[in-house]
Amino acid sequence: TVRVRFAPSPTGYLHVGGARTALFNWLLARKAGGVVILRVEDTDRARSSEEATQAILEGLGWLGIDWDIGPLFQSEGVERHRADALGLLEEGKAYRDFADPAAIRAEAEERGVHPSRVAREKADLVAEDESAARAAAGEAFAVRFRVPAGETRFTDLVHGDMRFGNDDIDDLVILRSDGTPVYNLAVVSDDAHMRITHVIRGDDHLSNTPKQVLLYRALGLPEPAFAHVPLILGPDGKRLSKRHGATAVGEYESQGLLPEAMVNFLALLGWSPGDDREIMELDELVAAFSMERVLKKSAVFDSDKLMWLNGKRLAAKPTPELIDTVCARLEAVAGVDRVRLQDAEWMSRLIDLIKSRARTIDDLADQAVPFAADELEYEDKAIAKHWDKDPAVALERLEGLARLWADVDWTEEKLEEGLRGMAESVGIGAGKLIHPLRVALTGRMSSPGIFEVLMLLGKDRSLGRIALGIERTRDLREKRLS
């Protein structure tokens, strides 16, 4: 049975890189009918927090990444980690390091060697019975793993055969002098204890892998298959960071992205289904996923593509599933008619009209404001371009439309027929009427089709807004004349 784990450190938010790692683990396990374990690696007690743990759990929950076992906490296995370290010590595969770390670092720097070489030399000068006696007397010591001569080889599911000369691997501390285990030992002990079959993680962990493989072999534990997935870079080719914009999953949630769009996007960061599909449902991702199609080269986080993908998902999402979310955002906007928000039929018409134009839920709510609000806020650039360039002309055209539609049957067909007829009668294109009208109806430079806008607002609200537009353009004209 395939058994994978996602093992975040609760020292910060759920980064998109961590979310992508969790997703790849989840996809592999779900395709194989395997087990997903969530293990929180909280051994860095000083930097770990309950708040960060909760944020990680909420981020995974929003993405729809569930788990079968957990959350388990690495700190719960400290006694087992310690026993594994002491077992290696008893077998001569590790040694006690009594030296002062600062003195070791100073000597190593002076000699131009790694501190672990100095530590081993000093440890080798101490006979085993003397070492045991000093430990029994209560003298503090760290435990270092004695890296054997030779080389360490393993197969990575992404990178293929990997070889590391052991001369380049330093004797690593596996137990600190205060008795707490170090990451490389703890992770090996935990993965073996949990019977993990596949370790899927970021490329930045590749340098730890030969150390961990050596520990598996020294402890006589079965090794999992390793897969190191490519790092995620910003558009400038540097590792993704806050300078590139949002990097926390929670930030994208608060911006109004859809979780299914985020999952779709993350899956395609460093993996390909082998065809030209870009929009994939979760079950399609599970069916298509394989480690063989994970790329070696780093993936670039393209925010524009994420927004495009989210827009496509948003447009295809059933309107009833969007109403509550949009209403919740609109309720926080000053001037919005709360009664109108409770009209499900009208809200449904509104969202149907604008959702194909939006990229996020926030964007969708923003585009809904002119329709849901009782009072318009006019965009300065809209007034400048379509009213204030020639307020007398804008006034004349709005007055003409107000007269034209005062007694008309309020249907899309009649409204369009009247506007186009008026444009033709005065020898202008229909757009010359539509642009100042759009500003009067929505306060904005752009909107859905003008006749659809008129129908959604209805006759009374439309004529009321045109009348207000007439007042505003008249004021602009008077200002120009004074």
Burial of 77: CB neighbours in 10 Å, binned 0-12, 13-18, 19+ = buried
Nearest to 246 by CA among 482, 16, 8, 479: 16
What are the tokens at 340?
């109108």
- 3-class secondary-structure state, position 233: strand
Q: What is the Cα–Cα distance from 221 to 362, expressed in whole angstroms?
A: 51
As given in the structure block, the two tokens for residue 52 are 């960060």
Tell the residue number behind the tokens 């990575």, with chain if given: 156
d(CA 478, CA 387): 13
On the CB side of 156, CA atoms within 13 Å amount to: 27
Q: Residue 89, SS3?
A: helix
Beta strands in 117-205 (DSSP E): 142-145, 151-156, 160-165, 173-175, 198-202
Q: Residue 71: is the preceding peptide bond cis (ω within 30°)?
A: yes
**Which residue reads 């003409």 in tokens?**
400
Chain position carrying tokens 């996602």: 6
Q: How many CA atoms lie within 13 A of 118 on its CB side?
A: 18
Given 238, 242, 381, 389, which residue is catalytic? 242
Q: Is 242 among the catalytic positions?
A: yes
Q: Residue 31: which residues within 8 A CB-CB, separation 6 or more? A: 286, 287, 289, 290
Show which residues are catalytic.
242
